[in-house]
Structure 1
C-alpha cells in the first residue's frame, strides 16, 4: 500500500498556479501586500486543481504512541500521560482540543502504539506495539512495523478525507518523542545529537547532555542508513512519527493539503519527503517551534513557517492555528475582486 500510494502523488498544476497568481496579483490591493496569504492560495490551487480552493472542512489527525527509550530517563513526565492526553484530546480538554472547538476542527485521536490496553470509543484503535522498544538497546521496531505505521497514517488521511476533510493537520501525543525525533534529524543531517538536542516538554537543562548521550548511543548501536528513511524509522524512530509521515503521504496522494505542526511533525515530514520528494508540494508549514532542533528541521525541509508565537506544545496545536490563516487566504482569493472587475484601471 505504501509504495502504491507514493506512486499516486501527482505534480502540482503549474499552469493553473500561474493563472491564479496572475489574478491574485490583480486583486484590488497593492500587488504582494497580503504576503504569504497570496503564496498559500497559489500553492493550494496547484495542489487541488481548483482556481478557488477552500479549506473549510478542517481535520487534525493526532498519532498517539509511547517510546521505549523513556526507560533511559529522557522525559520529564511519566508515560501514563500519553494515554491520559490521548483520551483528553478528542474530548476537547487539551491545547489542541480546546482550540479545535473554536475553529470547528474535527479531531482524530489514534492509538498507534500506546503502551496500555484500554477501551475508549473516542480513540481510533490502530495499535501496532505497546510502545516502541528501547532504541538504546536495539532497534525501536522492525522494518515491517515501520511500514505498517506509515500505512496507518495513509489510511487515516483517506478516512478523514472520505468524511469530508479538505485540509489536514498532523499532530502527535507521545511522552519522550522528541528523543527519536532528534535521533532521526541527526541521522538525516549529520548533525551531532549534542548540538541539536532540546528540552522537549520541559526536560531539565542540566540533564540534556544525558539525553543527547542516549540519542548518540542509539545511533551508534543501530547504525541507521541515512539513505533509507524506513530503516531510520525502524531503528531510531517512533510509531507516532511514522504515522504522521503516512498522513502526509496520504494527503498528497489525494491532492489534499497537509499542514505540518512543530518539531516532531517536521521531522516526520522529512521522512515523508525522503520517501517521495513530491510530498513536499502538498505540505504547508505552520509555526516556528522553540524546540532546539526545530530550525534545523525546517531549514532542511525548506518550508518557512509563517507563525512566530513561541509555541512548542505539539498535539497539532500550531497546525490548527495555521488553519485560520490558510482559510483567510482562500476567502481572499474567492471574495476579493480584481481592479478590472471594479472598473478601476491600474496606473
Structure 2
C-alpha cells in the first residue's frame, strides 16, 4: 500500500498491531524529526509501562529530538500549529493524549473544545505531520465508567483527526490499509514548497558502455507500428534524489478510453479484466485509442548476491543463464524472439553478504542508479515503446525480500519463496538459511536510515539498483514498463521514495504465485492480470502475456461503437450501411458478389426454410414454405423487397402465429 502525496497522516491500529513501527517507517528518510511523546512517565509501581516507553526511546534514531507533553495535553495543538514548513513531527500516540485529557486533576474541562482545537491545528499545520492513535472501537464496550469515557473520547478524537488529515491508514497485524483517500493520490506538497527538479526531465550522462542489444532469431528491432512521440531530454544532467518531479500518465486519456470501451459494439461485458490493459496503454500513450506496443526491449539484469541469500543456488548457474540469453537460446531469448522483442543482458555488480554488512557502497549504488537510467534513455532513443524488466541473479529473491521487509515491515518467512533445485525438488534447508540471512540483515540495520539509497546499499544490491534506475528513466521518458518478479517489484518499492510517479508507469501481468510479489504489488497498487503459474525465470511470464495484451489493445481500437449508442454497422469492405447505398452486396436490390442471388439482399421474396421437426400448425398443410404462417407481418415488413402485393399473396399471414392444435 502506497501513501504518496500526504502532508498530514493518521495511522490507526490496535495494540501491538505495528502502527508505531509503520508510522516511523514513513519518515525514516527525514533529516530530522520531532518526536512528540504524549504519555506520562510511569511510576515505580508500573515497571512494564516503563519498559514499553524505554523500548520506544531506544528505537528512535539519534537525529530525532523528543518533546514530552504528557503533563499538559493542551500543548499538543500549540506544538502542531507552530511547527515550521521544513519540520517533520511524529505524535505517538493520541491514546496517551486522551488519557491525560481525562486525568481527574484536569476536571472539569471542556474535552470537546480541546479536541476541536487539535483538529483545527492539524488543518493548518505547515509541517509534515504523522499522528499515531489506537483503534478501540472494534473491542467490547468497557465495563467501567472510566473505560467507557476513554473509549468515547478516543473515538471522538479519532474521528475529528481523521477528518482533518489528508490521509488515514489502518494497520492490522503489521499490514497497512489506506482508508483515506480511497483513490490513489499523486505526489503533492504545500504551495510554498518547491520540489527538486521541477523542470523538464533530464538525461543521465552515460557513465559506462552499455551492453550490446541482441535480436533473437525471429525478432525484429524495427518497430512495425506508428511510434508515438516521447519528450526529448534536456541537455543538463539529472540528480537522483527523493522528491523528483517526474511525469504522470494522462488520466484524461484513461477515462476517455474507459468510456469508449463501455460503448463498443461487443456482446456482454466486453474485454473484462483486459480493459485495464487498454486503459493503461491509453494513459501512457496519451490517446483514448492506443496502439499495441510493437517495439519492445527486454532488459535481463544479471547480478549475484553472496552469502546466505544465495543458499541452495548452483554456483555459476546464473552466469550460464545469462550466457544462454546472449546466445539467443534459453526460455527468455526464445520468448523474446516469439514476440519480436530485442534483448539486452546487463551485468550488475555482485552484492556482498547482507547479513554481514552493506551489499554495495554508496558510490556503487549511485553508479547503478545512473546506469539503469542510461539504459532506459538509450532504449527510448532507439524507438522502444515498452520495457520488460527481467533478472537471473543468484540470491536476488532474498535481496528483494529484504527490501520488502525493510520498506513495508513484512515478515521474511511469510514472503520469501521456496527454494526449488533442479529436478523440481524443494530445498527447505536452503530456504531456512535464506530466511536467517534476511533476518540478520534487518537486525543489523535496525537503527539505520531508510532512504532509498540506503536501502539499496544495505540490502538491495546492484541488480535492484539498476532496475530502480530503469524505472526512473522510463518514467522520465513516458515509457511503460512490464514488471515480472521479485527484482522488478523491489525496484518499484524503492523508486516510489524517489519519485512516486514511477509506479503509475508499471504494469504487472502476473504474480507468479510468489508471496513477496503479491505483497509488493498490493503496496504499489498494481493488480496482476493473470495467473499463468509459469516458473521459467523472471520476465518469462510478462513475455508470455504480451501477445494477449497486444491483442486486447488492437481489438479495442478496431471495434466500432454500438449502433444503439450512436455507432454504425460497418460493411465487410469497411463502408457504412445506408439505405441509399446501391453498390454490390449492399442490399440495394441487385445481387452482388457474396449475395448468392437469393434472400432479401437479392430483391427476391424471402423463403422460410422447411422446418426439420414439428412447428406451428397451419390451416392448410399444403401451404408452400413461401407462404408459411411463420412469415408473419414483422418479417414481411422487414424485407425491403416485400410490398403490399407480396404481403397480400400470403393468405395465412397475420400478426400472431397460430398456436399448435388451433
TM-score (norm 1): 0.86
Tell me, yes or no, if structure 1 residue 333 matches structure 2 residue 559. Answer: no
Match of 1:59 in 2: 297
Determine if contact 1:173/1:240 at 8 Å carries over to the other structure.
no
Measure, in 2, the Cα distance between the counterparts of 1:289 and 1:165: 26
Determine if contact 1:67/1:133 at 8 Å carries over to the other structure.
yes
Measure, in 2, the Cα distance between the counterparts of 1:31 and 1:284: 26
Tell me, yes or no, if structure 1 residue 198 matches structure 2 residue 424. Answer: no
Match of 2:273 in 1: 36
**Of 25, 43, 64, the match for 2:262:** 25
Match of 2:250 in 1: 13
SS at match of 1:293: helix
Change (3 A) 1:151 1:16: same
Match of 2:283 in 1: 46
Match of 1:315 in 2: 538
Change (3 A) 1:192 1:302: same
- How much has 1:40 moved relative to structure 2? 1.5
More divergent stretch after superposition (250-259 vs 222-231) = 222-231
- How much has 1:163 moved relative to structure 2? 1.4
Determine if contact 2:509/2:530 at 8 Å carries over to the other structure.
yes
Spell out, residue by residue over 1:157-194, the C-alpha distance to the aligned partner (whole angstroms, 9 max, x if none). Answer: 11111111111110112011111111111111212223
- How much has 1:292 moved relative to structure 2? 3.6
Determine if contact 1:184/1:236 at 8 Å carries over to the other structure.
yes
Change (3 A) 1:31 1:168: farther
Spell out, residue by residue over 1:196-255, the C-alpha distance to the aligned partner (whole angstroms, 9 max, x if none). Answer: 222244461233222211111112123375741211110011211111122121111111
- How much has 1:263 moved relative to structure 2? 2.5
Match of 1:269 in 2: 492
Determine if contact 1:290/1:311 at 8 Å carries over to the other structure.
no
Match runs of 1:145-184 below 5 Å: 145-184=364-403
Change (3 A) 1:73 1:66: closer
Match of 1:121 in 2: none
Match of 2:483 in 1: 260
Measure, in 2, the Cα distance between the counterparts of 1:297 and 1:4: 22
- How much has 1:19 moved relative to structure 2? 1.9
Aligned Cα root-mean-square deviation (Å): 2.2
Change (3 A) 1:142 1:52: same
Determine if contact 1:66/1:79 at 8 Å carries over to the other structure.
no
- How much has 1:6 moved relative to structure 2? 7.5
Determine if contact 1:287/1:305 at 8 Å carries over to the other structure.
yes
- Please, which runs of 5 or more residues in structure 1 have no aligned partner? 114-130
Match of 1:94 in 2: 330
**Of 310, 317, 332, the match for 1:81:** 317
Larger Rg computed on CA atoms: 2
More divergent stretch after superposition (160-169 vs 72-81) = 72-81
Match of 1:128 in 2: none
Measure, in 2, the Cα distance between the counterparts of 1:233 and 1:300: 18
Measure, in 2, the Cα distance between the counterparts of 1:224 and 1:36: 43
- How much has 1:5 moved relative to structure 2? 11
Measure, in 2, the Cα distance between the counterparts of 1:239 and 1:314: 18
Match of 1:342 in 2: 568
Match of 1:124 in 2: none
Change (3 A) 1:224 1:87: farther
Match of 2:212 in 1: none
Spell out, residue by residue over 1:41-78, the C-alpha distance to the aligned partner (whole angstroms, 9 max, x if none). Answer: 12222222133333111111111112122xx3743233
Match of 1:119 in 2: none
Change (3 A) 1:16 1:292: closer
- How much has 1:132 moved relative to structure 2? 1.5
Match of 1:120 in 2: none
Determine if contact 1:200/1:291 at 8 Å carries over to the other structure.
no
Measure, in 1, the Cα distance between the counterparts of 2:260 and 2:412: 47
**Of 455, 460, 466, the match for 1:232:** 455
Spell out, residue by residue over 1:266-303, the C-alpha distance to the aligned partner (whole angstroms, 9 max, x if none). Answer: 12211122322211111101212233422222222221
Change (3 A) 1:12 1:58: same
Determine if contact 2:274/2:529 at 8 Å carries over to the other structure.
no
SS at match of 2:501: helix
Measure, in 1, the Cα distance between the counterparts of 2:309 and 2:467: 25
TM-score (norm 2): 0.47
Match of 1:132 in 2: 351
Measure, in 2, the Cα distance between the counterparts of 1:314 and 1:186: 22
Determine if contact 1:244/1:268 at 8 Å carries over to the other structure.
yes
Measure, in 2, the Cα distance between the counterparts of 1:107 and 1:238: 22
Aligned length in residues: 325
Match of 1:106 in 2: 342
Change (3 A) 1:165 1:5: farther
Measure, in 1, the Cα distance between the counterparts of 2:394 and 2:367: 21
- Please, which runs of 5 or more residues in structure 2 have no aligned partner? 1-237, 571-662
Change (3 A) 1:196 1:20: closer
Determine if contact 1:40/1:326 at 8 Å carries over to the other structure.
yes
Match of 1:68 in 2: 306
